Amino acid sequence: MNPPSKDTSSSKKTPSSKRNRLSSVTTAIRLLKAFSEDEVEIGVSALALKLKVAKSTVHRLAVTLVSEGLLEQNPETERYKLGVGLFGLGTLVRRRMNVSNEARPFLFDLRKHTGETIILGIPTDIEIMHVYDLESPQALSIKSDLGVRRPAHCTAVGRAIFAFAPEETIEHVLAGPLARRTPRTPVDPKQIRKIFAEVRERGYAIEDEESEPGIRVIAAPVRDSNGVVVAAVGIGGPLQRLSIEALEGFAPPLLETVAAISARLGYSARHR
């Protein structure tokens, strides 16, 4: 028996709306790809011709992309060009690939030495993103999915990165309401500044159930060829096994590891 006409109409509408949404995204991507070294700036009419879509569609997409920093408009010619937002995204991808590739063998060695979960994180605006995660072989361990984002103010990896950031970046991190993820999470900017100062003094950061209940982490920064902190390596585990003393006992091999990774990225003694 054929389904009722009402149900048939409904089933057709959902795929259609999905196709429309995907079509808009596809057109936006094609719009960005229309630019090249030969055509740095392109007007609405030329873009519409290239993409074979209406000028109104191009204008609507261009305005949206400008608002997100992915396009910029020349006020004199009213033509569009690729925005610095794309450069930021590209830099993030390149940094992730470079750091991950160079760090990989050292991270495996560190896990073998400590027996705990090893995390590699990079900065993303006011947060950090985990780009490498080596889970502990022990039965009781912590796991962090790749690509997960965590706050900078309450994670060891975040503190190890942002403690060395420029003052304006730290201001940006502390400007908004800070999430209290556990009862131990510090949310007072003055307290977090003090924590950052301690990280700079000793060279590593400690996280004691401030991001996730029952989890402790120690992390240290990774520097690039210019001496800029571009990532951090963390060692984490459950508090049942990791006392603060045990965690700080991992500091020497952790610092050796980040020094080795930093050297692979071109960081040398002249920056110290």
- 56-76: b (≥16 Cβ within 10 Å) or e: ebbeebbeebeeeebbbbeee
Q: Is 227 exposed, middle or buried (0-12, 13-18, 19+ CB in 10 A)?
A: middle
Rounded to two decimals, what is the model's pTM?
0.66
The percentage of the chain sitting over the pLDDT mark of 90, rounded to a whole number, equals 64
The percentage of the chain sitting over the pLDDT mark of 70, rounded to a whole number, equals 85
pLDDT tens-digit series, residues 13-36: 444 444 444 688 889 999 999 998
User: Are residues 199 and 72 part of one domain?
Assistant: no
User: Are residues 200 and 94 part of one domain?
Assistant: yes
User: Are residues 259 and 171 part of one domain?
Assistant: yes
Expressed as residue numbers, the domain containing 154 is: 88-271
Residue 269's pLDDT is what? 56
Residue 168's pLDDT is what? 94
Per-residue pLDDT for 138 more than 50? yes
Q: Which of 82, 110, 137 is the last residue of a domain?
A: 82
Mean pLDDT of the chain: 86
Instruction: Judge whether 193 and 234 are in contact, CB under 8 Å.
Output: no
Please, which pLDDT band fits residue 235 given cuts at 50, 70 and 90? very high
Q: Is 155 exposed, middle or buried (0-12, 13-18, 19+ CB in 10 A)?
A: buried
The residue-averaged pLDDT of 214-233 equals 94
Question: What's the total number of domains in the chain?
Answer: 2
Q: How far is CA 165 from CA 80, 130, 168, 199, in A?
A: 33, 18, 8, 12
Please, which pLDDT band fits residue 91 given cuts at 50, 70 and 90? low
User: Are residues 10 and 114 part of one domain?
Assistant: no
pLDDT tens-digit series, residues 32-83: 999 987 788 999 999 999 999 999 999 999 999 999 889 999 999 999 999 8
User: Are residues 159 and 40 part of one domain?
Assistant: no
Q: Which of 35, 60, 82 is the last residue of a domain?
A: 82
User: Are residues 198 and 74 part of one domain?
Assistant: no
Report the alpha-carbon distance of residue 100 to residue 130 in Å, rounded.
10
